[in-house]
Structure 1
């Protein structure tokens, strides 16, 4: 290819592309390709305009991070469609893990276009549940917070209000009561922390709500894409 390549709106059953030879960049916006053979075999990283490009198959097989690097070259900045297209192709061949990686990267790229308060909430969702694509992170956070709470309250046991009936204190169940906003084990209502442990209790309550909200938002996002 020459200094640049224009293929906007192109329709083809099969197309072989070597972006490194198109030093001026490539424009494939709104093209429709059956089999896209994309070989990036050079050290140059020319810009690629891929918004609206659709394809059924992408060859050769490369690591997902290599494909994501190609998507990041759009001189127009973040565009969601190329990420969705790549994820769809991965899903069609059963590579669900790579598809989730692409969709998570899309959310991270989208975050850069948002105002500061939306970016802050995005960082929270990313760290806690990976925008819903890594829900196992919520379990890790929950176990870490549960272990912290159980240790603190085992060493500094909260006391029940005087003269009131109460269950046997259990530091693990008490910490779970603080962390899980929609479940009541009867421990939180029966025992009152005092001094510095009150701050720990408030921290666990806030963290529990934060995890639950981030997880709900992430699951909703993932299900809406099914």
Structure 2
């Protein structure tokens, strides 16, 4: 079907299927306040629909699948205040679409799968509570997200992807926050991506990942390293102040300093001459071993985090 103007069907009530697949409409399609009832099947079948401006479906009530796969909508696909229901199936299929702005503002929580695979959207307006329990967003690209929300509120949606872990989905969300100028949120998303990826790794790799996460947050939380180093420095300095290690050569040994002795143990690149001049005994010796091993691990983890930070920049 080819329509040289608009299709106006506001308030339409249909028991069965509305078919607009392959239609070319030079104006807009207006389905505001429509009620479409076709449970378990396509309530709106509009695959490869091409409109000149908008597909308006504000306050749409659809019991059945809304299928606009492959549609070309240069301005708005407006589903604000809509209620989409198709339990056990797809409630909204908008895969492989090119859409200017997709609006689900103040829509009811969607009952059924949302499929946006491979679609290109300039602006995506959907609140986290509107998304259903299962989504298909592999290959979905968007530039902007509204409303403006912290990353912690949007990350759970990525966990609902039916295909499992998708690195691209995290990269896309990161890019959207960077475009918005929210670098802190972008780092939060990247950290969540690495944590999610860790769950797919073998057990030994997961252990190394946990260590990087706890110490420096995979390089996204570098101040944690300073905190760990300070805590270990205070522990070692206090312990060695109470139990001075014996000098290896009493006539040649410098004055003992518990702080710099601990620094020598912790940092592989540090050499204040304390570690080579004194030898602890008993429990202090085991503490020194622990500080050396911990220092090496921490230094390696910090180096990995710095490398990852530099590669991002």
TM-score bin, normalised by smaller chain: over 0.9
Deviation at 1:72, TM superposition (A): 1.3
Q: CA RMSD in A?
A: 1.7
Which residue pairs with 1:207 in the alignment?
294
> How many residues end up aligned between the 2 structures?
225
TM-score normalised by length of structure 1: 0.93
Which residue pairs with 1:132 in the alignment?
219
Deviation at 1:163, TM superposition (A): 4.8
Alpha-carbon contact 2:117-2:137 (below 8 Å) kept:
yes
Greater RCO, 1 or 2 (C-alpha within 8 Å, sep 6+): 1
1:36 to 112, 124, 140: 124
Matched, 1:187 2:274: yes
Alpha-carbon contact 1:178-1:205 (below 8 Å) kept:
yes
Matches within 5 A, 1:155-194: 155-194=242-281
Q: Distance in 1 between matches of 2:108 and 2:222?
A: 38
Deviation at 1:209, TM superposition (A): 0.7
Secondary structure at the aligned position of 2:121 is classed as strand
Which residue pairs with 1:120 in the alignment?
207
Q: Which structure: larger Rg?
A: 2
Which residue pairs with 2:142 in the alignment?
55
Which residue pairs with 1:26 in the alignment?
114
Deviation at 1:51, TM superposition (A): 2.0
Q: Distance in 2 between matches of 1:150 and 1:20?
A: 59
Alpha-carbon contact 1:179-1:205 (below 8 Å) kept:
yes
102-111 or 27-36: which moved more? 27-36
Residues 117 and 161 of structure 1: is their aligned pair in 2 closer, same or farther, counting only changes over 3 Å?
same
Which stretches of structure 1, 4 residues or longer, exceed 3 Å deviation after superposition?
17-22
Deviation at 1:21, TM superposition (A): 4.7
TM-score normalised by length of structure 2: 0.68
Residues 118 and 20 of structure 1: is their aligned pair in 2 closer, same or farther, counting only changes over 3 Å?
farther
Matched, 1:17 2:17: no
Alpha-carbon contact 1:20-1:40 (below 8 Å) kept:
no
Structure with greater strand share of residues: 2
Which residue pairs with 1:147 in the alignment?
234
